[in-house]
Amino acid sequence: MLARYADPAATGRLSLARPDDWHLHLRDGTALRAVLPFTVAQFARAIIMPNLSPPVTSAAAATAYRQRILDALPPHAQFTPLMTLYLTDRTPPEEIDAARESGVVGCKLYPAGATTHSEAGVTDVRRLDGVFERMARAGLVLQVHGEVTDPAVDVFEREAVFIDTVLAPLAARHPQLKIVFEHITTHQALQFVLGGREGIAATVTPQHLLMNRNALFAGGLRPHHYCLPVLKAEEHRRALLAAVARGERRLFLGTDSAPHARRAKEAACGCAGVFSAHAALELYAEAFEAAGALQHLEAFASHNGADFYGLPRNRDAVLLIREGWTVPAKYDYADGGELVPLRAGETLAWRLAARHEAAQ
Ligand code: DOR
Ligand code: ZN
């Protein structure tokens, strides 16, 4: 095993067990068909976020959405969508058992109003204690968008305030509940996850490892760098990168790739979301290489998430090659729209080789 990592910087080749994306937005309809091939080219499985409009709030809706994803797969694709339910104030506890039976792996907690399509989310988590109890018993994972929505709280503080006022008490009330703190952005979140009880983990996006909040304003307003939780100050980015570079097992890959049409991003009130599925693994490789930690990329991308969810690790492999390529300025998106990917028009150092190459 270790020989693989002998010196990827010198050999320019890094073989990894096939990775999974533990936090992904695929949308629906023609948007789904536009973005799904990017994820299928890189990942064996992905957790599919349920914030459609209307949201995926029942086991039946999750099953139907999974089928639409399977129907949209490119020919011969091997890809497993892992479904999650969108919690609302009125999620019935019985729905949890139905979800478990239909293969749903978790439930997503969006505080109402926190982000895209979260209007139907939860206004007070205490109302859901019965649901969380059922989830713990059924072994379903709670996936948390961790930001308070109080407009009086500074947008850069919303994650830290959420930990103290919502997440820490919730985790303490439900000691058996498995929790993934999604797309963490601050050293407070790291401290909560790494210092917390068993059964707590976090996903980390490529943008929060590679950029700080200056990237929102570099030479002007940069709507394609805007996502929620918003990019934070450099000290937080450094803390996140240092933690993944240490090989922390509670941290794993979740791109939060969130496509929006260019016209919805470049607008007076632009949508939150960074599209990164076109180069997800390459972007993470860049971050890990910058931290001198390519030897920890495989566990982060391909082991830690599966282990936390209690799913088998993938047996096939992918190959990253140190070979520059230029990201297109845009991709086609739904309804004649365009999608501007992260690093549009720029050159990336790593390239994911085709699957058959990786298997050799
Ligand atoms: O930036 C984001 N975009 N954050 C989210 O939480 C939701 C996502 C989306 O669905 O566009
Ligand atoms: Zn998300």
Residue 353 CA to ligand 1 center (angstroms) comes to 29
Provide the percentage of residues in the chain whose pLDDT is more than 90. 92
Kindly state the helix (H) or strand (E) to which residue 98 belongs, with its residue range.
helix 93-101
Which atom in ligand 1 lies closest to the alpha carbon of residue 272?
A: 1
Q: How confident is the model at residue 114 (pLDDT cuts 50, 70, 90)?
A: confident
Please tell me the least confidently modeled range out of 86-90, 119-123, 235-239.
119-123
Res 173 pLDDT > 70 = yes
Q: Which pLDDT value is given to residue 359?
A: 38
Average pLDDT over residues 275-292: 98
Looking up tokens 């091997």, which residue turns up? 78
In a domain, 323, yes or no: no
Which residue in 89, 256, 307, 316 is the catalytic one? 256
Token pair for 130 = 């019965």
Q: Which pLDDT value is given to residue 134?
A: 98
CATH number, residue 91: 3.20.20.140
Each residue's pLDDT tens digit, 33-47: 999 999 999 999 999
Each residue's pLDDT tens digit, 255-266: 999 999 999 999
Residue 275 CA to ligand 1 center (angstroms) comes to 10
Which residue is closest in CA terms to ligand 1's atom 2? 273
Residue 272 CA to ligand 1 center (angstroms) comes to 5
Q: Which pLDDT value is given to residue 71?
A: 98
Each residue's pLDDT tens digit, 63-81: 999 999 999 999 999 999 9
Res 338 pLDDT > 90 = yes
In a domain, 12, yes or no: no
In a domain, 256, yes or no: yes
Q: Which pLDDT value is given to residue 354?
A: 72
Cα Rg, the chain, nearest whole Å:
19
Q: Read off the DSSP letter of residue 225.
A: G
In a domain, 28, yes or no: yes
Best mutation site among 26, 256, 274 for ligand 1 pocket (most ligand atoms within 8 Å of CB): 256
Res 24 pLDDT > 90 = yes
Which atom in ligand 1 lies closest to the alpha carbon of residue 259?
A: 11
Cβ distance 327 to 345 under 8 Å? yes
Q: Is 154 a catalytic residue?
A: no
In a domain, 337, yes or no: no
Q: What is the mean pLDDT of the chain?
A: 95
Q: Which pLDDT value is given to residue 3?
A: 44
Res 221 pLDDT > 50 = yes
Cβ distance 288 to 336 under 8 Å? no
For residue 303, the enclosing domain spans 19-314
Give residue ranges with CB within 6 A of ligand 1. Answer: 25, 51, 115-116, 145, 227-228, 258, 272-273
Res 210 pLDDT > 50 = yes
Q: How confident is the model at residue 118 (pLDDT cuts 50, 70, 90)?
A: confident
Which atom in ligand 1 lies closest to the alpha carbon of residue 117?
A: 10
In a domain, 265, yes or no: yes
In a domain, 303, yes or no: yes
Tell me the three state secondary structure of residue 145. coil
Provide the percentage of residues in the chain whose pLDDT is more than 70. 96
Looking up tokens 């050159």, which residue turns up? 347
29 φ/ψ sector (left φ>0, alpha ψ -120 to 50, else beta): left
Q: Which residue has the higher pLDDT, 208 or 358?
A: 208
Which atom in ligand 1 lies closest to the alpha carbon of residue 114?
A: 6
Q: Which pLDDT value is given to residue 6?
A: 60
Q: How confident is the model at residue 106 (pLDDT cuts 50, 70, 90)?
A: very high
Residue 136 CA to ligand 2 center (angstroms) comes to 22
Q: Which pLDDT value is given to residue 215?
A: 98
Res 7 pLDDT > 80 = no
Residue 24 CA to ligand 2 center (angstroms) comes to 6
Please report which ligand is nearest the Cα atom of 229.
Answer: 1
Tell me the three state secondary structure of residue 8. helix
Which residue is closest in CA terms to ligand 1's atom 7? 116
Rounded to two decimals, what is the model's pTM?
0.96
Count of domains in the chain? Answer: 1
In a domain, 319, yes or no: no
Token pair for 317 = 């492999």
Residue 256 CA to ligand 2 center (angstroms) comes to 5
Greatest alpha-carbon pair distance for the chain in Å reads: 56
